[in-house]
Amino acid sequence: MNRILVVIITFLSISIYAQNDEQTLKNIYKQSLTNGQSYAWLDYLSNTIGGRLSGSQNAALAVKYTKNELEKLGLDKVWLQPVMVPKWVRGTKEMAYFETELGIKKVNICALGGSVATPNGGTKAKVLEVATFEDLAGLGEAKVKGKIVFINRALQADLINTFEAYGGCSSERYSGASVAAKYGAVGTIVRSLSSKQDDYPHTGSMGYGDLPVSQRIPSAAISTNDAVALSEALKDNPNLEFYFEQSCQQFDDVLSHNVIGEITGSEFPNEYMIVGGHLDSWDLGDGSHDDGAGVVQSIEVLRLLKESGIKPKRSIRVVLFMNEENGLRGGRKYAEVAAEKGENHIFALESDSGGFTPRGFSFDCSEVNLAQIEQWRSLFKPYLIHFFEKGYSGADIGPLKNDNIVLAGLRPDSQRYFDHHHAANDTFDAVNKRELELGAATMTSLVYLFDKYGVNQVKNIPQIKD
Amino acid sequence: MNRILVVIITFLSISIYAQNDEQTLKNIYKQSLTNGQSYAWLDYLSNTIGGRLSGSQNAALAVKYTKNELEKLGLDKVWLQPVMVPKWVRGTKEMAYFETELGIKKVNICALGGSVATPNGGTKAKVLEVATFEDLAGLGEAKVKGKIVFINRALQADLINTFEAYGGCSSERYSGASVAAKYGAVGTIVRSLSSKQDDYPHTGSMGYGDLPVSQRIPSAAISTNDAVALSEALKDNPNLEFYFEQSCQQFDDVLSHNVIGEITGSEFPNEYMIVGGHLDSWDLGDGSHDDGAGVVQSIEVLRLLKESGIKPKRSIRVVLFMNEENGLRGGRKYAEVAAEKGENHIFALESDSGGFTPRGFSFDCSEVNLAQIEQWRSLFKPYLIHFFEKGYSGADIGPLKNDNIVLAGLRPDSQRYFDHHHAANDTFDAVNKRELELGAATMTSLVYLFDKYGVNQVKNIPQIKD
């Protein structure tokens, strides 16, 4: 850090928080924990509506429901922002097995989102197990051609942050089929990106890049238990055959919406602060953690501000983004419209890491603003919020990035997230009410502080490269 | 803090940790997360043995199993420490209902541990709802006599630490019956000490104090959902009748054991450091969180030390205490024997707050030793361990307390603990493998550091009253 910046940060550090901020945070947490609405909203979204894949009827129902709930809150404005989204449909439940000397072993798979179907009658072939793209390249077309490529790459268990472990394997899921197809594979089976050994296959998006339609091969995820079983069976018999069948289909884009509500600022109505999560989810579970939790927490932020008698100086918006999972169309559309209108967005907070006990936030912002946040650390201590680090903030708010905005991501405890992520067990019963409510209160507290003190503009201040 | 102490602490602060401690902690966490045994031990303890109430056959099986597992670890010594424990048996499943104009409403109750049975044919009476002992005293004998006292005191939801909320209600559970009996009540029904609205009744210990046997009245816990339903029904009809039946029984004390294993210290074999949890549990669930988790984590501490190639300077013992739940006989016996033998215990760590993501430790020790611990804070940061506070350390190690010992309690995230505590849903599936393993690694790291650097002796150093 250079000396000029140290001086500036020290100067900024004088603007510490006021005594009554402690009381305000206490009120926010109390309101969320004793009279919160987030859990009831999630109950409806998960148990009455269910999984909300982009373009589905459930996604449309979720738009209607959340718009209606926002209207009940008495905000200054509530509206729908149109956005065209991809529509991919899973079709009939997938089926798969492999053959051993003992007979047929059925396994649990699911098509990856965006995959093509298997041909009529399914796909049956010998299996080539690899862990990485390097393995695949090393084997080359001669060994890959005509085979099903089985990418068996487990999440690295000794990484404390499970998102880091997930990130280490996600390109294999996303691009496995397009890479394997180039070597002549007839399908890919990818080990589920799960932290747990169980029978749930975990879906997620994949893409074919520039691969011509005629060369696209079907791609599915296999449960971690079955990945282990298949790998063991391949050691006994490298020539065993694997069969899978899936009937998923990509349709034309359809019209959907981001759902937006606003409390208009009393002093600086043209400074926008947003808080959001994504309304769409995968189709296997009910999307409670990913990202029903973020949706209801974001709505709760505006409710908690109102209930706590806070009248924001700046315009605070809740944005429920459509199509984070397989397109990010909602996030891109929101930023595009904001740019067209010349709206000055100074802050964006995303909750899309599950409804678990909040630990803090990651911040994608300047060092100057990070120093500002550091001043508030002790305000959060009674709530065991301790994590304030530079880092990735979230997919949906990413398109808003510029030199002045503060992008923030809620960071809940990550240990259980990938047990449920994109799988049939991402369900309401896996969300703890208090953990969800603590997250909403933590988000509200940060929004309150940034609204009250504003965001330090860093124009003309030397930037730090990190 | 007085000046002399500040100087001393500053001086002590020079003995900071070494560079290779970072690597040692990394190895410990990696070993626990990639090759840990704690989860498999818990699986056996929970799913093969099950609930382990003191004096039961399962408790004896748990003694046998854990002794055997300790022997497999190649420790220097493994032994059983005899201890007489109370034997209380629940008997036939309890039954309860109340009568409304709409008919009979069945409710979920369970006898509190230590309660007497209802008389033959059960107990049926009108109900008096109170929240506190003060309410009860205010009503007096005229209004209480012949009634069932319903103590409907909910955990305070806005307390962030759920143990604090639990502590605020636990005397009503423990002493409700003895207090109500003095006013002539015929039974007590206590709202379950749960953070969740559901149908599980939560048991736990109760006692009659000096109440003569002839005056003892039966006491049961009712599920939170049914507590709300009963309270609502009483508003409609204050004269409704409640019926309950339980056949629990107290037997003579029986012989049981603490299970102990030791790695003898290479330099200071007469300085003892212990780590432990309690082997007994309540009978409704399988005791996975309370305290199967603490048991397997404690065993894992010794295994991780060995696997990480650490040769302790001091003697490290794992102590699996018997009878924490309804007597604390194991904890008292261990301290009694240690005193008889003149063993110098310098450190004791207890894990008895569930197998959830570890957040840090509470310490019951001198300011001097707290300052020593503070020096290690940054070593724990990569593992998101941030909580190092003065506070209650645990029931089983409490009897070892003196001016020099460091008593420490693992502090996992507390949000879900009281959803499961003492109820039928305290089961293996509610424990996350990674969370359990992170706890074991965190405990091992603290033991490693105290073994390496020792405990600062505070004789002759001015003490601070806190």
Which residue, among B31, B33, B160, B427, would best test binding to A if mutated, counting the most A CBs under 10 Å from its CB?
A: B160
Tokens of B198: 């559901």
Q: What is the largest CA-CA distance in chain B?
A: 75
Q: What gap in Å lies between CA B305 and CA B148, rounded to an integer?
A: 54
Contact A289, A354 (CB under 8 A): yes
Nearest to A384 among B160, B419, B434 (CB): B160
Nearest to A160 among B158, B196, B382 (CB): B382
Distance in angstroms between the alpha carbons of the first and the last residue of chain A: 10
**Contact check, Cβ <8 Å, A33/B195:** no
Q: What is the DSSP letter of A256?
A: E
How does pLDDT run across B32-50, given as a tens digit for each residue?
A: 999 999 999 999 999 999 9
Per DSSP, the three-state class of B294 is: helix
Tell me how long chain B is: 466
List the B109-111 sheet strands across, edge first.
Answer: B103-106, B95-100, B241-245, B123-130, B148-151, B187-191, B219-222, B109-111
**Contact check, Cβ <8 Å, B432/A413:** no
Tell me how long chain A is: 466
Identify whether B291 is preceded by a cis peptide bond (ω within 30 of 0): yes
CA angle B353, A431, B298 (to 5 degrees): 25
**Contact check, Cβ <8 Å, A435/B419:** no
The letter for the amino acid at B320 is L
Placement of tokens 């600022």 in the chain = A265
Nearest to A384 among B382, B383, B387 (CB): B387
Residue A462 has pLDDT above 80, yes or no: no
Per DSSP, the three-state class of B222 is: strand
* pLDDT the model gives residue A458: 55
Residue A1 has pLDDT above 50, yes or no: no
Tokens of B269: 């074999």
Tokens of A102: 């003992």
**Contact check, Cβ <8 Å, B387/A387:** no
Q: Which residues of A touch B413 (CB under 8 A)?
A: 357, 413
Catalytic: which of A307, A324, A367, A437? A324
Q: What gap in Å lies between CA B328 and CA B215, rounded to an integer?
A: 25
Tokens of B457: 């002796």
Contact B191, B221 (CB under 8 A): yes
Q: What gap in Å lies between CA B107 and CA B115, rounded to an integer?
A: 19
Burial class of residue B423 in the structure, from the number of CB atoms within 10 Å of its CB (0-12 exposed, 13-18 middle, 19+ buried): buried
Residue B274 has pLDDT above 90, yes or no: yes
* Mean pLDDT, residues A378-382 taken together: 97
Tokens of B110: 């369970």
Q: Which residues of B touch A28 (CB under 8 A)?
A: none
Q: What is the DSSP letter of A205?
A: B
CB atoms within 10 A of CB B137: 13
Q: Which residues of A touch B387 (CB under 8 A)?
A: 384
Q: Which residues of A touch B412 (CB under 8 A)?
A: none
Q: Which helix (H) or strand (E) holds A126?
A: strand A123-130
Nearest to A157 among B33, B160, B415 (CB): B33
**Contact check, Cβ <8 Å, A359/B384:** yes
Higher local confidence (pLDDT), B460 or A107: A107
* Mean pLDDT, residues A281-286 taken together: 98
Catalytic: which of B69, B172, B324, B350? B324
CA angle A25, A26, A28 (to 5 degrees): 60
Average pLDDT, rounded, for chain A: 94
CB atoms within 10 A of CB B92: 10
* pLDDT the model gives residue B11: 46
Q: What is the 3-state secondary structure (H, E, C) of A287-298?
A: CHHHHHHHHHHH
For chain B, percent of residues with pLDDT exceeding 90: 93
**Contact check, Cβ <8 Å, B432/A438:** no
**Contact check, Cβ <8 Å, A357/B29:** no
Interface of A with B (CB under 8 A): 29-30, 33-34, 157-158, 160, 162, 195-196, 357, 359, 382-384, 386-387, 413, 415-416, 419, 432-435, 438
Q: Which residues of A touch B358 (CB under 8 A)?
A: none
Q: How confident is the model at residue B10 (pLDDT cuts 50, 70, 90)?
A: very low
Distance from CA of A289 to the nearest CA of B (A): 16
Q: Which residues of B145-158 are buried (b: 16+ CB within 10 A; e: fewer)?
A: eebbbbbbbbbebb
Higher local confidence (pLDDT), B214 or A3: B214
What ipTM score was computed for the predicted complex, to two decimals? 0.94
Taking phi first (over 0 means left), then psi (-120 to 50 degrees means alpha), and beta for anything else, what does residue A410 get? Answer: beta
Contact A419, A356 (CB under 8 A): no
**Contact check, Cβ <8 Å, A196/B433:** yes
DSSP letters, B351-406, are: --S-SSPEEEEEEES-HHHHHHHHTTHHHHGGGT--EEEE----TTTGGG--SS-E
Size of interface A-B (CB pairs under 8 A): 59
Average pLDDT, rounded, for chain B: 94
Distance from CA of B35 to the nearest CA of A (A): 10
Residue B385 has pLDDT above 70, yes or no: yes
Q: What gap in Å lies between CA A163 and CA B268, rounded to an integer?
A: 43
Residue B1 has pLDDT above 50, yes or no: no
Which residue, among A43, A162, A386, would best test binding to B if mutated, counting the most B CBs under 10 Å from its CB?
A: A386
Nearest to A434 among B30, B33, B195 (CB): B195
Tokens of A406: 């503060």
Q: What gap in Å lies between CA A384 and CA A113, rounded to an integer?
A: 37
Q: Can you point out the beta strands (E) in B28-163?
A: 77-89, 95-100, 103-106, 109-111, 123-130, 148-151
* pLDDT the model gives residue B458: 55
Q: How far is CA A393 from CA A336, A389, A397, B203, B349, in A?
A: 19, 10, 8, 43, 37
- Annotated active-site residue B324? The verdict is yes
Q: How confident is the model at residue B462 (pLDDT cuts 50, 70, 90)?
A: very low
Distance from CA of B415 to the nearest CA of A (A): 6
* Mean pLDDT, residues A173-192 taken together: 97
* pLDDT the model gives residue A456: 82
Residue A380 has pLDDT above 50, yes or no: yes
Which residue, among A160, A164, A225, A381, would best test binding to B if mutated, counting the most B CBs under 10 Å from its CB?
A: A160
Interface of B with A (CB under 8 A): 29-30, 33-34, 157-158, 160, 162, 195-196, 357, 359, 382-384, 386-387, 413, 415-416, 419, 432-435, 438
**Contact check, Cβ <8 Å, A435/B415:** yes
Per DSSP, the three-state class of A452 is: helix
Distance from CA of A429 to the nearest CA of B (A): 12
* pLDDT the model gives residue B461: 43
Which residue, among A162, A289, A353, A384, would best test binding to B if mutated, counting the most B CBs under 10 Å from its CB?
A: A384
Q: How confident is the model at residue A101 (pLDDT cuts 50, 70, 90)?
A: confident
Distance from CA of A29 to the nearest CA of B (A): 7
Q: What gap in Å lies between CA A319 and CA B375, rounded to an integer?
A: 43
Instruction: Report the Cα A278 to chain-centroid distance in Å.
Output: 8
* Mean pLDDT, residues A296-301 taken together: 99
Task: Find, in chain B, the residue whose alpha carbon is nearest to that of A413.
Answer: B357
Range scoring the smallest mean pLDDT among A97-106, A185-194, B4-13, B312-321: B4-13
Q: Report CA torsion sign: A181, A183, A186, A187.
A: negative
How does pLDDT run across A394-449, given as a tens digit for each residue?
A: 999 999 999 999 999 999 999 999 999 999 999 999 999 999 999 999 999 999 99
For chain A, percent of residues with pLDDT exceeding 70: 94
Q: How confident is the model at residue B456 (pLDDT cuts 50, 70, 90)?
A: confident
Q: How confident is the model at residue A11 (pLDDT cuts 50, 70, 90)?
A: very low
Q: Which domains does chain B have, with CATH numbers?
A: 3-86+252-453 (3.40.630.10), 91-247 (3.50.30.30)
How does pLDDT run across A448-460, given as a tens digit for each residue?
A: 999 999 998 655 4
Tokens of B307: 């696997």
Q: Can you point out the beta strands (E) in A138-186?
A: 148-151
Q: Which residues of B touch A433 (CB under 8 A)?
A: 196
Q: What gap in Å lies between CA A299 and CA A36, rounded to an integer?
A: 11
Q: What gap in Å lies between CA A272 and CA A263, rounded to an integer?
A: 10
Which residue, among B32, B161, B384, would best test binding to A if mutated, counting the most A CBs under 10 Å from its CB?
A: B384
